[in-house]
Structure 1
Amino acid sequence: MSGSNEGPTRSRAAVDERGSRRNRERPPAPEPLPHPVVDNHCHLDIDDGEGEWFSTEQALAASRAVGVPRIVQIGCDLPGARWAVETAREHEAIVAGVALHPNEAPRLATSSRRELEDAWAEIEALARTHEKVRAVGETGLDHFRTGEEGRAVQQESFRWHIDLAKRLDKTLVIHDRDAHDDVLAVLDSEGAPDRWVMHCFSGDATFARGCLDRGAYLSFAGTVTFKNAQPLRDALAIAPQERLLVETDAPYLTPTPFRGRPNASYLVPLTVRTMAQVRGDDLEELCRAIDATTEEAFGGSW
């Protein structure tokens, strides 16, 4: 889950914050991309509201039809991490990331320290389970949903996940909400892994430069299409192609013009086309670069 979405859950409300009914109809499929890309951050296990459940098989078929044949499935709590590993085993087109979300660690610690430590132990066991577990994430810091009382545990959990990624040579996937400076401070203190991704990049060009200088891959979601997201587009414009990734964070962060409706990997082309337009890149060239960079970022093809 991104720096601008809900915390870990298995369902999504069908009403907005004003109590109005959401339009939960699935958006139409966009025009296919000229070259395949990977959705490098998705939550296939999270319900997207009303209507028929979009199964993994349906999600893969829909995304494959528009040029998004592969997905990185991210588990953010123990049930989600278990599901991600099992789904990656069952589907050739999927690899997994496992971690405790930054808002999940303080929740577990509130119950008991033992519960948090047992959860860490299971995450490590899952990360060692199968070669298709490519990532440790999403982990990181969230200063929006976790208050001062939970931030020490959140930071401890972030440091634990960084160490795990380095020990297992996995890609680190970072969630950052309202915590830019602290995320970089922790990375500087611990030392970043060889491969790390700023999931759903949410900063400006200055923050992008700080991440890039430390070796980050920047992953852009549907937020880059939003009208109020000019700082994101400024960041996108300065990033080299070989450091760019694309994601949905589905079922959240649906790109314009379908913001608020259910998101899924088949809508990645809307975000990629916006990225190409913002950067002035040839669309096919950008797709080829994103595809190659995603494989590099997540440790090879699958």
Structure 2
Amino acid sequence: MSATRTGGRNGERPVDPEPLPHPVVDNHCHLDIAPYAAPDEPVPVAQALARSAAVGVPRIVQIGCDLPGARWARETANEFDAIVAGVALHPNEAPRLDAAGRLDEALAEIADLATDPRVRAVGETGLDTFRTGPEGREAQERSFRRHIELAQDLDKTLVIHDRDAHADVLRLIDETGAPNRWVMHCFSGDAEFAAACLERGAYLSFAGTVTFKNAQPLRDALLAAPADRILVETDAPYLTPEPHRGRPNASYLVPLTVRAMAAVRGADLAELCRAIDANTETAFGGTWGA
């Protein structure tokens, strides 16, 4: 299945970084969203996997965040052993579907897609008050609650999108009950918020934003997090790490983020890679081939 959705800024893909000393997983990627440099030509999955594997990122969690993307994620995870899927309605998708009278129907399809064994996660779901105004908040919260319940019912990993909604995300987790495994995708809080998430059992997933010059609170959170709760992601084709910020992101650039994370923590790079790899296996429900 081809994808036609596109990212934002134009730019050629950066060169390959130095390989990691131990493999890690990109636990949040959007291979179905065309790269900025070629908006009508998404990178073929096999090519993307080969390039990332060559630098120590042999496995990917493909995240679908609308119905076409969720269908594609499940299909792709069943085609490629190196990929597992997450399926959900993005929080900014929920108000649009609700306005069209299709939210409940869409949630029912997500629930069906999520029963596939190759779908390891319900996500990305959550709350976003940056792009959705007050008129869409009720639909967002209703959708988020249903996704939390679905993760609980199916024992799937919950993957949370949180933009400018820290307190409300925690409120709904507390009211609905956290599933056994849940991930704060592209963690964007400070050390205090990290502690609140960790207290409730979350994994914190760090993206290229941790390399940005203005992200010191995020680096403080990374420094405060225990080694067994840290994950790494791209959110590709978005959030490209420095020194390539603004150019198209991809899983093969994960080594730049991991090296920055090791520097922040004063950690041995190989040890951090091993920890991230083990954490991802646990966070997403067991061995990759199972």
- TM normalised by structure 2 equals 0.96
Offset at residue 264 of structure 1 (A)? 0.2
| Residue of structure 2 equivalent to 1:73 | 62
Which residue identity lines up with residue 46 of structure 1 in the other structure?
I
Superposed, which structure 2 residues align to 1:107-146 within 5 Å?
A: 107-112=96-101, 115-128=102-115, 130-146=116-132
Which residue identity lines up with residue 136 of structure 1 in the other structure?
V
Runs (5+) with no aligned partner, structure 2: none
Candidates 227, 248, 254, aligned match of 1:241: 227
1:86 aligns with 2:85: no
Superposed, which structure 2 residues align to 1:1-302 within 5 Å?
A: 10-14=5-9, 22=10, 24-51=11-38, 53-112=42-101, 115-128=102-115, 130-302=116-288
Which residue identity lines up with residue 289 of structure 1 in the other structure?
A
Per-residue Cα deviation, 1:251-289 (whole angstroms, up to 9, x for no partner): 000000000001000000000000000000000000000
Looking at structure 2, the residues matched to 182 and 118 of structure 1 have their Cα atoms a distance apart, in angstroms, of: 25
Measured at CA, do residues 68 and 144 of structure 1 come closer, stay the same or move farther in structure 2, by a change above 3 Å? same
Measured at CA, do residues 164 and 53 of structure 1 come closer, stay the same or move farther in structure 2, by a change above 3 Å? closer
Identity over aligned residues, as a percent?
74
SS of the residue 2:114 aligns to = helix
Q: Is the 8 A contact 2:33 2:42 kept in 1?
A: no
Looking at structure 2, the residues matched to 297 and 150 of structure 1 have their Cα atoms a distance apart, in angstroms, of: 30
Which residue identity lines up with residue 170 of structure 1 in the other structure?
K
SS of the residue 2:145 aligns to = helix
| Residue of structure 2 equivalent to 1:6 | none
Q: CA RMSD in A?
A: 0.9
Looking at structure 2, the residues matched to 13 and 33 of structure 1 have their Cα atoms a distance apart, in angstroms, of: 28
Aligned length: 283
SS of the residue 1:63 aligns to = helix
Offset at residue 48 of structure 1 (A)? 1.4
Which residue identity lines up with residue 76 of structure 2 in the other structure?
T
Which residue identity lines up with residue 11 of structure 1 in the other structure?
T
SS of the residue 2:121 aligns to = strand
Which residue identity lines up with residue 83 of structure 1 in the other structure?
W
Looking at structure 2, the residues matched to 103 and 195 of structure 1 have their Cα atoms a distance apart, in angstroms, of: 23
Per-residue Cα deviation, 1:85-139 (whole angstroms, up to 9, x for no partner): 0000000000000000000010000111xx11110110000001x2110000000
Offset at residue 50 of structure 1 (A)? 3.0
Offset at residue 185 of structure 1 (A)? 0.5
Looking at structure 1, the residues matched to 135 and 98 of structure 2 have their Cα atoms a distance apart, in angstroms, of: 11
Looking at structure 1, the residues matched to 230 and 209 of structure 2 have their Cα atoms a distance apart, in angstroms, of: 15
Offset at residue 12 of structure 1 (A)? 2.2
Runs (5+) with no aligned partner, structure 1: 1-8, 15-21
Looking at structure 2, the residues matched to 234 and 10 of structure 1 have their Cα atoms a distance apart, in angstroms, of: 34
Looking at structure 1, the residues matched to 7 and 109 of structure 2 have their Cα atoms a distance apart, in angstroms, of: 26
Which residue identity lines up with residue 12 of structure 1 in the other structure?
G
Offset at residue 53 of structure 1 (A)? 3.4
